[in-house]
């Protein structure tokens, strides 16, 4: 009985460690909502302009950042950067 519980504990711990070692998940858990929004804005704008999104910018906004002013500000900054790089002027 004790050995079985211990084995299950190791499996759960190993699974959790594997999830946290995934670069995208680990990076998102450490990044500010502004930075996540910034990367999201860059990626979404590049895709909209028929360009490729850099793998490191292909993020999903986590629940902890949804609806926050800092996330929106980061998204706008990332969008602005891509527009300017393409010689376009974003709407303010």
Measured CA to CA, the distance from residue 26 to residue 23 in angstroms comes to: 5
Residue 9 has pLDDT above 90, yes or no: no
Enter the tokens of residue 81. 């950067």
Mean pLDDT value of segment 64-84: 96
Domain boundaries, the chain: 1-30, 32-92
Radius of gyration of the chain (CA): 18
Enter the tokens of residue 74. 């980061």
Enter the tokens of residue 85. 């790089």
Q: Express as a percent the part of the chain with pLDDT over 70.
A: 67
At 5, is the pLDDT very low, low, confident or very high (cuts 50, 70, 90)?
low
Enter the tokens of residue 47. 């895709």
Could you identify the residue written with the tokens 């996330």? 71
* Contact present, 46 and 83 (Cβ < 8 Å): no
pLDDT value of residue 76: 96
């Amino acid at each position: 009985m004790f050995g079985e519980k211990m084995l299950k504990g190791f499996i759960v711990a190993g699974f959790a460690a594997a999830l946290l070692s995934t670069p995208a998940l680990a990076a998102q858990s450490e990044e500010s909502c502004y930075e996540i929004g910034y990367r999201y804005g860059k990626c979404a704008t590049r895709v909209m302009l028929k360009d490729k999104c850099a793998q490191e910018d292909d993020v999903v906004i986590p629940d902890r950042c949804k609806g926050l002013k800092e996330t929106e500000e980061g998204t706008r900054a990332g969008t602005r950067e891509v527009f300017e790089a393409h010689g376009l002027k974003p709407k303010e």
